[in-house]
Chains A and B, each alone.
Chain A
Amino acid sequence: MTNTPKGFSRRGVLKTGLAGILATGVSPLIFSKTSWAQEFCNAPTGDAVTLGFVMPLTGAYADEGADQQRAFMLAVEHLNGEGDGGLIPHFSSKTLKGGILGKKVAYVTGDDQTKPDAGRDTARRMIERDGATMISGCSSSGVAIAEQALCQEMGVIYMAGLTHSNDTTGKDKKRYGFRHFFNAYQSGVALGPILGEAYGKDRVAYHLTADYTWGWTQEESMIKATEALGWKTLPPVRTPVNAGDFSQYLTPVLNSGADVLILNHYGFDGVNSLTQAVQFGMKDKQVNGKKLELVLPLVSDLMAKGAGEAMKGVYGTGNWDWQLTDEASKAFTKSFGAKYGQPPSQIAHTSYVQTLLYADACERAGTFYPPEVIKALEDFDFDGMGNGPTTYRGSDHQCFKEVYAVRGKDNPANAFDLLEVVATASKESVTYDPAIFGGELGPDTPAMC
């Protein structure tokens, strides 16, 4: 029995339908890459594609967020074919010709307040209300992991900003999340030998650690790196994020027998703990017959500026430095400096690069369809972004490239000349087995939001 009305057969309806589709010219779309256009969250339909930038404009990492915002705006300008193009002419992939897939790049910005819940809410609003096809930003791993998980749920690509926890591309990695910035493990690899050379093999380290995912993994990586040198480690002390006054945590250091204080703090927390440690006379103190040394494993120009004199002679690591002498770094510094009157920080660099990498992946994939963009980013080899030859590893979405050991300059030539690169850890030396940090990327199934 059939329910087909009189005069219509099933075969007849199918034939007529197919003929109609072919006749209206829709068929080429079905068999082309862009046929995914309507099948995923926030598929761009107009003349523009919207990117969502979530940054810490308030809170402990607000300085970083302000620079990040500058970089995002510059990246959008360059993607739209305005300005001097910045890194685009130096980028090894030559797909970026203006806009993304012929669409003008628009953007929305928001404040994550350096808090995971606020970051997640802001990102969700950008996806649901503003139609963002990609979310980027953050300068806290706690925020990055929260936003990355949201993007995985909603099927929107997440290009992380400054996140340094091993967990971001380790146990909490996600198929939709990608990190250009280096991680705590790589800091340990880059900084360990430098500390051994500068301070010797017989040291006792005291860790003050920001009490969240980044601090924990940074502490773990630094302990591993320094104990490999022969250093001893006292029981680490955890401090709340945004503590402000660290004096109660610094006071016990003085009589602990430690001769190295490792401050696993970032942003304003790093500035405060370092300057307060110097106020406690720690830079002039002798312990175990040696000078007490301070180490800030993750450091930026913005922190060095905030810490001022206290930063002089202090070792740390960085993802990038504006004083690198390769042509791409010089071009980016020139472009950023001309627009904002100051050199870009490492967070500005990574945020700018991430935006370009997403745009390029869409161009190479020929679509905004996230699974295809993911495929384009996975195991992508590129150069010309200021860190030498780089690989976006497919198995954990971590970028592998050079990492820099830096030191606070003793005699800065100007107000921006605050850090000097003292060593470069090669891409090969900071590459590790993804299995050591576990985690599952999860599916690439696109969600409809």
Chain B
Amino acid sequence: MEAILAQLLNGLDKGGAYALIALGLTLVFGTLGVVNFAHGALFMLGAFCAVTFRMLITYETVVQDPTQVTAWGTPVEIRTPLAQSWFGDWGAVLIDYSVPLSILLAIPVMLLVGVAMERGIIKHFYKRPHAEQILVTFGLAIVLQEIVKSIFGPNPISQPMPMALRGAFDVGVWIGIAPDMLTYPLWRLLYFVFSIGIIGAVFAFLRFTTFGMVVRAGMADRETVGLLGINIDRRFTIMFGIAAVVAGLAGVMYTPLLPPNYHQGMDFLVLSFVVVVVGGMGSLPGAVAAGFLLGILQSFASMTEVKSIFPGIDQIIIYLIAVVILLVRPRGLMGRAGVMES
């Protein structure tokens, strides 16, 4: 029982990441009708916002200590981060909490990147076939990842989580099971809560604000909303920016779980597209539901008991489920008729 619950938790935190990326992806598709293959790169850019923020606040001063000598005969270097030199203990706290604090940098940067991407390139492809949209956004993704590679190098860069949030939380005690029977990393639980919070905020924004209402109306019937004198294009551009922020924040908070590298966007992109297709193209609730469903199934497929019966099932489960769902429900779990259908 505890093993199943542990895998369920694992599926939820994995599913949280899938759902966040897929949500932005399907939001762009639902509003602009663009199949954005650069969306994974936005997740990666978000992660590198966290890297940049940490690099800035951990910029070091180097002082040589002549009283200590290294094994190769040079004086030992004593490195002190500037933040710590300037702010003392507060500087240390700032460095410790660099990942959550980098959200403050990621929001404006990702909004700007999203809007620039939409206005600069993607708007020129609205009326072009999906195949051309895929090609141009895929090319854009490659350009973005090569830029990141040239600046930050090809290797993953670790981002430590705050000291207070390291270690495992005894979920078992919380839900009435014996102590130490069901523990789970605190940051992963936090990631799940964070993803639920972001998903909830996006839904609330679309549901309860006038801006959201107009966007939903535009998603349903773009022409009619335009005829009412509303500049729907501007709102859709902002929605693209919001989708970029969602992907970026998913990337920021994922950095302590997986050190960011330049190609991680591509790694997540394929999975996220499967999530969107399984959920139903253009369906926001479908993307979220499919994200969590596939995350949980992937986690269960990694259980020793399952792998002993179906070796290697953990590697193919997502694609297997996608095949089954598309055979049974060709439009995905919550897909609407007429979307991407000629």
- Chain B residue nearest to A236 in the complex (CB): B304
Interface residues of B in 1-35 (CB under 8 A from A): 2-3, 6-7, 9-10, 13-14
Q: How far is the CA of A281 from the CA of B16 in the complex (A)?
A: 21
Chain B interface main SS type: mixed
A248's partner among B160, B185, B258, B298 (CB-CB below 8 A) is B298
A336 at the interface (CB under 8 A from B): yes
Residue contact A337 to B188, C-beta cutoff 8 Å: no
Residue contact A255 to B6, C-beta cutoff 8 Å: yes
Q: A35-43, A57-65, A347-355: which lies at the B interface?
A: A57-65
- With a cutoff of 8 Å between Cβ atoms, the chain A residues found around residue B264 in the complex are 244
A102 at the interface (CB under 8 A from B): no
- With a cutoff of 8 Å between Cβ atoms, the chain B residues found around residue A256 in the complex are 3, 304
Q: How far is the CA of A308 from the CA of B161 in the complex (A)?
A: 13
A27 at the interface (CB under 8 A from B): no
Residue contact A284 to B167, C-beta cutoff 8 Å: yes
Q: How far is the CA of A308 from the CA of B259 in the complex (A)?
A: 14
Interface residues of A in 304-350 (CB under 8 A from B): 306, 308, 322-323, 330, 333-338, 341, 343
B84 at the interface (CB under 8 A from A): no
Q: B68-76, B274-282, B332-340: which lies at the A interface?
A: B68-76
Residue contact B183 to A245, C-beta cutoff 8 Å: no
Q: How far is the CA of A194 from the CA of B298 in the complex (A)?
A: 37
- With a cutoff of 8 Å between Cβ atoms, the chain B residues found around residue A337 in the complex are 70-74
B146 at the interface (CB under 8 A from A): no
B85 at the interface (CB under 8 A from A): no
A279's partner among B167, B259, B267, B303 (CB-CB below 8 A) is B167
Q: Which of the four size classes fits the interface of chain B?
A: 35 or more
Residue contact B72 to A247, C-beta cutoff 8 Å: no
- With a cutoff of 8 Å between Cβ atoms, the chain A residues found around residue B123 in the complex are none
Interface residues of A in 359-418 (CB under 8 A from B): 414
Number of interface residues of A (CB under 8 A): 43
B166's partner among A66, A279, A306 (CB-CB below 8 A) is A279
- With a cutoff of 8 Å between Cβ atoms, the chain B residues found around residue A442 in the complex are none
B158 at the interface (CB under 8 A from A): yes
Q: How far is the CA of A62 from the CA of B302 in the complex (A)?
A: 27
B308's partner among A235, A240, A248, A330 (CB-CB below 8 A) is A235
B187 at the interface (CB under 8 A from A): yes
Give a binary string over B48-79; 1 marks a CB under 8 Å from any A CB, 0 the rest: 00000000000000000000001111101000
Nearest CB on A from B276, distance (A): 20
- With a cutoff of 8 Å between Cβ atoms, the chain B residues found around residue A336 in the complex are 72
- Complex A-B, nearest 6 residue pairs according to Cβ-Cβ distance, in ascending order: A337-B72, A281-B168, A248-B302, A255-B3, A279-B185, A58-B154
Q: Footprint of A on B, CB under 8 Å?
A: 2-3, 6-7, 9-10, 13-14, 70-74, 76, 154-156, 158, 160, 166-168, 180-185, 187-188, 257-259, 264, 267, 298-299, 302-304, 307-308, 314-315
